[in-house]
Amino acid sequence: MRISKKVLVVAAVAGAAALALSGCSGSGGGGAATGDPILVNSITDTKAFPEAAAVATAVFEQYNAAGGLNGRPVQLKTIDAPTGDAPAAVNGAADSIGDANVVAMVGSSTFGECAINHQAYIDAGMVAFVGVGVDTFCFTTPNMAAANNGPLFDIYATAWNAINDGAKAPCMVANAADPSTGFGYTEVVKNLEASTGVKFAAVEIPDANQANDYSTNVLTALAAGCDALVFGGVHPTVAAMIGVLNTQGVDLPVYVQTSCYDPGFPMEPAVQAYPGIVSVPAELAPSDDPANADFQALLDSGAVASAETWSYSFMQAGYLAAQTFIHVIESIDGDITRESVTAAAQSDAIWPIENPMWGNPWTFGPGETHQANSSVYRADIEAGSGAWKSIGPWIQAAEMDWIDIAATPAG
């Protein structure tokens, strides 16, 4: 078959146009602020966590349109680091650190970038306002603080809800995204058993497997005689775990992590078919809370080209990471440099910052570890309802006897 030259030319032009347009759409800046830009970077797995960096970019564009910091715009560059591509994460950090004009990392969202680069940021004296932090190092590094509460605090709160509801023999099946998280989950179980006196009937913490299949872990846990199930993992993985319960005629209460708190999860076929209650400790204000008014207005303005599949809480995390950075630079009297940003972020003077999207005052500060977001808000799915129902109230770390997990053997 022959393809005419005209067709080839049209295809080439269309392709070039598409590339040019896609390139244009990623650039930030512009608007009323026209001074020297303040540069920040985000290392993000744009496939798994596209939300936070995109929303942070929109926050800065809105900020710049309103004049920026004394006429200086904030420009965020997103560096893609897909999960499993450690060199991309390393190079992203090296490029960011190597450019003296990049003053901080803002909105980074990956499964493992904190573990990979935390020491490099410490050595470079650079701080990271993490958007969605997953691995333990996002919460145990002096230079890092995350807008989200992370999987360790999250799984703790998830299991705490189960025990608080009266579970005497809960079972945990939690897929650990990386070794440090797996270790952290084990510590969480120990701490929780010590603080509540409740012994888990079974604890399964499988590493990620090629088929993304944790059905046998769920079956093994069920065989231990659970009276509640605590599931850890991202939305599709946990939905599949609930699918396993459906095959076994189980209707026990199920407790899932905040990574499942999106509008699509209750609509999952397995979740809709499940005859029991499903509960989550949301890490940020639930979507129907007025605390989200400004954030929601930003979304409604069309500034973020979001997809319906995007996680609401991960978008919130990007919004808060950007707001936190703005709070820091607005507190600095002198020049905005990497050193001044780091000094301000790690000082006591400007913290905490209050935002009702968090359930607690948020602090970066000089701490060696940062469980800055340390509260959760309960929401439930009633059997077959197809929607989350906000239950509340905010529950603080102290009420749950949370202990920071600082030591990790891997990394």
Task: Give the interface with another protein as residue ranges (CB under 8 A).
Answer: 1, 47-50, 206-207, 209-213, 215-217, 219-220, 222-223, 234-237, 239-240, 243-244, 246-249, 262, 264, 267-270, 273, 307-311
CB 139 within 8 A of CB 371: yes
User: Could you tell me the smallest distance in angstroms from the CB atom of residue 274 to another protein?
Assistant: 11
Return the H-helix or E-strand segment holding 133: strand 132-133
DSSP string, 82-121: -TT-HHHHHHHHHHHHH-TTEEEEES-EESSHHHHHHHHH
User: Could you tell me the smallest distance in angstroms from the CB atom of residue 214 to another protein?
Assistant: 8
Token couple for 382? 């009633």
Q: Which is nearer to another protein, 301 or 309 (CB)?
A: 309
User: Could you tell me the smallest distance in angstroms from the CB atom of residue 247 to another protein?
Assistant: 6
Q: Which is nearer to another protein, 275 or 366 (CB)?
A: 275
Q: Which is nearer to another protein, 220 or 369 (CB)?
A: 220
**Distance (Å, whole) CA 350 – CA 369:** 17
CB 266 within 8 A of CB 277: no
Q: Which is nearer to another protein, 219 or 350 (CB)?
A: 219
Q: Which is nearer to another protein, 144 or 174 (CB)?
A: 174
> What Rg, from alpha-carbon coordinates, does the chain have?
22
CB 286 within 8 A of CB 390: yes
**In DSSP terms, which residues pair with 69 in a beta bridge?**
72
What's the order of all strands across the beta sheet hosting 254-256? 202-204, 170-174, 228-232, 254-256, 278-282, 375-381, 389-396
List of residues 6+ apart from 210 with CB closer than 8 A: none
Token couple for 166? 């009266």
User: Could you tell me the smallest distance in angstroms from the CB atom of residue 23 to another protein?
Assistant: 16
Three-class DSSP category at 406: coil
- The answer for 83, left when phi > 0, alpha when psi is -120 to 50, beta otherwise, is beta
User: Could you tell me the smallest distance in angstroms from the CB atom of residue 210 to another protein?
Assistant: 5
> What is the DSSP pairing of strand 375-381 with strand 389-396?
antiparallel
Q: Which is nearer to another protein, 19 or 100 (CB)?
A: 19
User: Could you tell me the smallest distance in angstroms from the CB atom of residue 366 to another protein?
Assistant: 35
The letter for the amino acid at 35 is: G
User: Could you tell me the smallest distance in angstroms from the CB atom of residue 93 to another protein?
Assistant: 23
User: Could you tell me the smallest distance in angstroms from the CB atom of residue 3 to another protein?
Assistant: 12
Q: Which is nearer to another protein, 118 or 235 (CB)?
A: 235
**Distance (Å, whole) CA 214 – CA 278:** 18
Q: Which is nearer to another protein, 211 or 407 (CB)?
A: 211
Q: Which is nearer to another protein, 83 or 371 (CB)?
A: 83
**Distance (Å, whole) CA 272 – CA 265:** 9
> What is the DSSP pairing of strand 278-282 with strand 375-381?
antiparallel
Three-class DSSP category at 180: helix
Q: Which is nearer to another protein, 239 or 372 (CB)?
A: 239
Residue 294, Cα to own-chain centre: how many angstroms? 20
**Distance (Å, whole) CA 106 – CA 128:** 6
